[in-house]
Amino acid sequence: MRASMIFLSLLAVVCHVQAARSDAVGPSAARFASSPDGNLLVRIRTTKAASESKDVPKHEVSYYKYDPSKDVYVRRSRFQLVGRLPQMLYVSDHGDLIMIFLRKKNAIRVHSKDGKLMKSWNLNDFLSEGEIRACARTGSTLQWFDEGTFCDRVFRFWGPSMMIRALVPPFTVMRGVDDKVTFSASIDVVTTKLTKDEEIRGDLGSGTKRGTKRGTKRGQHEKSTKRGQNQSCSARLLHK
Q: Indicate if the pLDDT at residue 168 is higher than 80.
A: yes
pLDDT at 48: 75
Cα gap 139→27, rounded to integer Å: 10
At 16-70, the pLDDT tens digits run: 334 445 677 789 999 999 999 999 999 999 977 766 677 888 999 999 999 999 9
Give the phi and the psi of residue 164 in degrees, each rounded to 5. Answer: -85, 120
Least confident piece of the model among 4-8, 55-59, 102-106, 188-192: 4-8
Query: What is the three-class DSSP state of 176?
Result: coil
- The ranges assigned to domains in the chain are 25-226
Nearest Cα residue to 136 out of 177, 183, 182:
177
Residue 235 gets which letter from DSSP?
A: G
pLDDT at 50: 65
CA 37 to chain centre: 21
Nearest Cα residue to 149 out of 78, 228, 236, 235:
228
Residue 93 gets which letter from DSSP?
A: T
pLDDT at 51: 65
DSSP lists the bridge partners of residue 131 as none
pLDDT at 239: 45
The number of beta carbons lying within 10 Å of the beta carbon of residue 176 is 12
pLDDT at 149: 97
Handedness of CA 176, 178, 182, 187 (dihedral sign): negative
pLDDT at 49: 72
At 176-190, the pLDDT tens digits run: 999 999 999 999 999
Tell me the average pLDDT of the chain.
Answer: 81
At 57-103, the pLDDT tens digits run: 899 999 999 999 999 999 999 999 999 999 999 999 999 999 999 99
Q: What percent of the chain has pLDDT over 70?
A: 72
Answer with the residue of higher pLDDT: 77 or 238: 77
pLDDT at 97: 98
What angle (nearest 5°) sits at the alpha carbon of residue 69, between those of residues 114 and 152? 45
CA 239 to chain centre: 27
Cα gap 42→91, rounded to integer Å: 7
The residue type found at 41 is L
Q: Indicate if the pLDDT at residue 230 is higher than 90.
A: no
Cα gap 12→38, rounded to integer Å: 53
Cα gap 58→177, rounded to integer Å: 34
pLDDT at 47: 79
Cα gap 229→226, rounded to integer Å: 6
Cα gap 63→74, rounded to integer Å: 8
Q: Indicate if the pLDDT at residue 154 is higher than 70.
A: yes
What angle (nearest 5°) sits at the alpha carbon of residue 101, between those of residues 96 and 103? 150
Q: Indicate if the pLDDT at residue 3 is higher than 70.
A: no
Give the phi and the psi of residue 131 in degrees, each rounded to 5. Answer: -70, -40
